[in-house]
Structure 1
């Protein structure tokens, strides 16, 4: 558990620093409401997820910051063997499974929104299709791999020895 806690704490702490700086940047130096946004035909051709991100950019930056803070607190709780941290980490791993699977579909929606390659040389079109297919396969493999690790972590965190380590003997 100590290793898992530290594997959570270090990246989460870095995430807190980075996302804090991003929020400071986007809320003060480069306010989102002053950024030039695509409009008209450009916006109509974008995937729904992209338009959602543009419309809710501030909320997404704040949500990412909150997620990194909560992950950091959860990692510290795991280190201290707090039951709430174990339960939260199980929920976090469940969320990561959903996010990994959704990410594959989001990536596919980006590629499907790319305009037709009818006006490009055939070699370029073939190379682009090959690259897109490779990225699709790698994305699926990574989503399955990360999801499998998350399922394993959930299973381990729900095991009797780990529950006992957290003082939960049920």
Structure 2
């Protein structure tokens, strides 16, 4: 009886994110091992602890100064997404709410990434400058195209994550998780 009340949307969503977050967790573990190995070298640790080049955009400098923390955070989010995805598949309500929170965090992260992209591309345009050879293509137009593409991609992911959040918070999906909780209590 319980299997009939399970929506295909939640099941498919859970399996997609189980696969993606398991892969992301594996990659994050490898990245953290790599960084721990790199930062064990005193010269590398000193280079990252020292002053950043003055032309480096502030958000990028902040990221570089706290690179290990960034990768630990990525690992934690990947593991949390994996746990929430498994819980989503099992129809645990706390996992549904955690998953919604992680998607909202994903929207904020993508929008924040636009700010970083904007500052990095702006700095790159200033550094590259106009072409010096007459008739040569302007490399700055490529940077603008990259910025436009990142804006479109961010909007697409924000819309997708927003749509998933809306579906997971819908009364019919919430009722499915309540039925699971009520059946477990009985």
TM-score (norm 1): 0.88
Larger radius of gyration: 2
Selected match of 1:6 from 11, 15, 33 = 15
Structure 1: which 5+ runs fail to align? none
Superposition deviation, residue 34 in structure 1: 3.6
In the TM superposition, what are the counterparts of 1:1-150 in structure 2 within 5 Å? Answer: 1-27=10-36, 29-31=37-39, 34-35=43-44, 36-37=47-48, 43-114=53-124, 115-118=127-130, 120-121=132-133, 123-124=135-136, 126-150=137-161
Structure 2: which 5+ runs fail to align? 1-9, 182-186
Aligned equivalents of 2:128, 2:23: Cα separation in 1? 40
Q: Could you say what secondary structure the match of 1:131 adopts? A: helix
**Per-residue displacement from partner, 1:137-170 (whole Å, max 9, x unpaired)?**
111111111111111111101111100111179x
Q: Could you say what secondary structure the match of 2:54 adopts? A: helix
Aligned equivalents of 2:149, 2:73: Cα separation in 1? 27
Aligned-CA RMSD value:
2.2
Aligned length: 166
Maintained 8 Å contact 2:130/2:138? no
TM-score (norm 2): 0.81
